[in-house]
Homo-oligomer: A and B are copies of this chain.
Amino acid sequence: MQRSNDATGEADLIAKVAEAKTASLQLAMAPAVTKNRALKRVAESITSEREALIAANEKDMGAAMALIEQGKMSRALASRLKLDDSKIDEISRMVESVAALDDPVGRVTYSIKMDEHMDLFKLTVPFGVIAAIFEARPDALPQIASLCVKSGNAVILKGGSEALQTNRVMHSILAEALVAEGIPKGSTQLIEGREAVSMLLKMDGMVDLIIPRGSNEFVKFIQDNTRIPVIGHSSGICHIFVDRRADPENAVEICYDARVQYPAACNSMKVLLIDSSVAPSLLPSIAARLIEGGVRLRCCPRAKNILESRGIAVERASATDWVTEYLEPTLPVKLVDGIDEAIAHINCYGSRHTDAIITEDRDAAKKFLRMVDSSSVIHNASTRFSDGYRYGLGAEVGISTNKVHARGPVGLEGLVTTKFVLFGAGQTVIDYVGKNAKPFLHQRSGVEINGRY
């Protein structure tokens, strides 16, 4: 674990954030070609410096092994921490793929000729300084840093302490490559120690956005302890509702995929709702397939009766099951009397992340998709599709369950905000108000920025 003398102290943190802020104003103006060239150089440096990376990672792995022996770390965590040749190649390709994405900065999202020689533009611009706090995986730092640089943002990086040595080397390779290609010095900053995170959360004048990754408890802690906007979700209580007109095979296979394929995923099914009118005919086959996949079912009394009458033994659900995010393959099951009860249940107990309906009834689907208040709603497909890569967004910054700014899987567009830019020729408001006010033209077509920004 991290020793206290590694931690970033308050004065050091303030200096780093201030340097990032200054760099961010320059970085915001960096042309796409500079940012892409710099990212390609990062990709190259990561492969050419592979020995230094692996040596650093071996130190982290050594510390991890000692912790495993003491029972203080899981083997699963240690295996995610491991960096080898093929992982390094994968990281390098990932950074290159970020270089290949469209530049999210400088897109005109609104333009209008307010009057002659008075043109208004709404443009996408970087946030400024983003703080990213992430798990102990060697690919997390280069991924987040690449996305931030691509979107013109300076970034404060705080990784899991188990990856301390790897992150230090990774960051120095990355920072050097970026500066060598003209990215302002100080655009990426590495900080260490939990105390630094606590201080960072209070820097709402300096840090413009926080991206936390990690456990739900951790994300919730961040959301609850800062005034800085946060992109993320703290829980994924996702439902599948099997409607009375569900196709039986779809119901069985989609429920199986959504619960079994990756049980710990935020977008896996956490609660199954089934229409009581088809439960006697459909639930036994859905349940059999899930149990075959190793799922423990926890059923409402009516579902339990149906299954036990077919000789399928299941546990009884408790009241807290409807609000519990089981990350292991456990599944609470509830009978509902029709779609309205299903929608009400989801809107009441869900986490507004991703919910699906299985039905051949187009009107029922429409009602569900419209009335379920979640970031993703799905008809006849697995909840597991709710993901930035699968949604074609290129790279996923996170999945947001907020309604403001970015909702659902967030790509690079989540790392930019907008700014109004008005070009005038000496106009004053007094001419446009009162009795003899000049009218505005408010003409939408043919307004071009022509290198004025």
Contacts and interface: CB of A to CB of B under 8 A. Distances in A.
Interface of A: 25, 28-29, 112, 114, 118, 120, 122, 127-128, 208-209, 229, 247, 249-250, 253-254, 256-258, 261-262, 343, 347, 362, 365-366, 369-371, 373-382, 384-386, 390-392, 402-405, 407-409, 417-430, 432-433, 440, 442, 444, 452-453
Nearest to A251: B426
Contacts of A452: 362, 365-366, 379
A250 B127 CA distance: 32
A253 B419 contact: no
Contact of A426 (B247, B369, B423, B444): B247
A424 B385 contact: yes
Contacts of A374: 419
A391 B429 contact: no
Nearest to A111: B392
Contact of A384 (B370, B373, B429): B429
Nearest to A267: B429
Contacts of A444: 392
8 contacts: A120-B391, A208-B403, A249-B426, A257-B429, A261-B429, A384-B428, A391-B420, A392-B444
The 8 closest A-B CB pairs, nearest first, are A381-B424, A257-B428, A384-B429, A404-B405, A392-B442, A250-B426, A376-B420, A403-B417
Contacts of A25: 343, 347, 371, 373
Given A378-B422, A403-B229, A261 B112 contact: no
A186 to B, nearest CB: 16
A358 to B, nearest CB: 8
Contacts of A127: 403
A253 B366 contact: no
Given A257-B429, A403-B417, 17 more contacts: A28-B370, A29-B370, A120-B391, A249-B426, A258-B428, A258-B429, A261-B428, A261-B433, A262-B429, A362-B452, A366-B453, A381-B427, A382-B424, A382-B427, A392-B440, A392-B442, A404-B417
A376 B422 contact: yes
A267 to B, nearest CB: 9
B391 A229 contact: no
A118 B381 contact: yes
Nearest to A402: B229
B257 A377 contact: no
Given A373-B25, A384-B429, A379 B418 contact: no
Contacts of A407: 417-420
B422 A377 contact: yes
B229 A390 contact: no
A215 B376 CA distance: 38
Given A407-B417, A429-B261, A424 B378 contact: yes
Contacts of A254: 426, 428
